């Protein structure tokens, strides 16, 4: 979310999206009623060959205390679920608003470009000063504007970068073969903080880039992949990504291409091999089926 906020600031559309309201989660440990120690009302006669001596008392009081503890635990779980649900709803709503703001042409003005010079300025505003000369800048820009599906409950990392195709592709390149979500999230965020556009990425100092990407490993291949996708993204008259020779980019296999197709082009008719992508497609299909059900 913070990276989206910084990106909106760069594009001049920060005011168009509101920040997610902060919510504090209550302490997981609720105050429990303290019980004063009491003299035992019965004792065990665990002496070899001797039966236990009982005084006729019961464990009703202890059982009542245990019931109260269990009820309190259930209340805590319900509170946490309610708070988590509210935070998720707020995040989804903000993410949708931020996408709308980032995809709006003309930045903060809200006015779409009208001529070749304005369309070129729009391209450079989004992707930097290495945008090459093109015959049709409008087609150049529009082919690079994604149509992402609605935010899901899964909150996959790709969802937070799907408003910009280059960023989504970079995120997929960097998250490949990394299991730790925290490592992926932090490293990708650090990369975009330093290199916000493909133009900036192509000017990256190799040693500085290596230091940023160090937690991910496989630096030579990742650096080559980043350069390849950044160069291709800037140079193609109409951007597209695939597995056929004319659309293939180094470092992008089925995971990267499927992520691009799903998160940037809204392709929910795919059957991806990756488990997380399968889950996302299934979630979107359930959401769509539910929305299409007739209201009773």
Q: How confident is the model at residue 79, as a pLDDT?
A: 62
Burial of 174 from C-beta contacts in 10 A (0-12 / 13-18 / 19+): buried
Model confidence pLDDT, tens digit, residues 2-15: 555 655 555 555 55
The pLDDT score that the predictor gives to residue 205 is: 97
Instruction: List C-alpha distances in Å: 274 to 105, 277, 288.
Output: 33, 5, 21
Mean pLDDT computed over 158-175 = 95
- Match 């009491």 to its residue by tokens: 38
How confident is the prediction for the chain on average, in pLDDT? Answer: 82
Contact by Cβ (8 Å): 228, 175? no
**CB of 157 closer than 8 Å to CB of 280:** no
Q: For the whole model, what pTM was predicted? A: 0.72
Separation of alpha carbons 120 and 104, rounded Å = 15
Q: Has residue 246 got a pLDDT over 80?
A: yes
For residue 162, the 8-state DSSP code is: T
- Own/partner contacts of 193-198, CB < 8 Å, gap of 24 or more, are 193/3, 193/6, 196/6, 196/7, 196/10, 197/126, 197/127, 197/128, 197/166, 198/127, 198/128, 198/130, 198/166, 198/229, 198/230, 198/231, 198/233, 198/234
């Amino acid at each position: 979310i913070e990276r989206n906020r910084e990106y909106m600031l760069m594009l001049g559309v920060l005011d168009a999206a509101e920040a997610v309201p902060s919510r504090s989660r209550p302490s997981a440990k609720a105050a429990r009623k303290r019980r004063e120690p009491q003299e035992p009302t019965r004792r065990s006669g665990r002496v070899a060959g001797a039966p236990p001596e009982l005084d006729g008392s019961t464990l009703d009081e202890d059982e009542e205390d245990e019931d109260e503890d269990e009820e309190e635990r259930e209340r805590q779980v319900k509170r946490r679920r309610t708070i988590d649900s509210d935070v998720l709803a707020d995040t989804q709503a903000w993410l949708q608003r931020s996408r709308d703001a980032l995809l709006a042409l003309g930045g903060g003005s809200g006015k779409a470009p009208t001529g070749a010079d304005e369309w070129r300025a729009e391209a450079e505003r989004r992707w930097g000063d290495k945008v090459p000369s093109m015959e049709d800048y409008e087609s150049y820009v529009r082919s690079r504007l994604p149509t992402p599906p609605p935010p899901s409950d899964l909150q996959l990392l790709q969802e937070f970068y799907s408003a910009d195709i280059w960023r989504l592709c970079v995120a997929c390149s960097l998250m490949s073969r990394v299991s730790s979500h925290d490592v992926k999230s932090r490293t990708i965020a650090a990369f975009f903080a330093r290199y916000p556009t493909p133009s900036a990425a192509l000017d990256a100092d190799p040693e500085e880039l290596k230091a940023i990407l160090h937690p991910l490993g496989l630096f030579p291949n990742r650096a080559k992949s980043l350069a390849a996708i950044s160069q291709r993204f800037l140079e193609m008259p109409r951007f597209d990504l695939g597995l056929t020779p004319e659309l293939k980019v180094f470092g992008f296999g089925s995971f990267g291409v499927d992520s691009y197709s799903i998160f940037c082009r809204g392709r929910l008719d795919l059957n991806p091999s990756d488990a997380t992508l399968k889950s996302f497609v299934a979630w979107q299909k359930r959401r769509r089926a539910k929305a299409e059900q007739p209201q009773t």
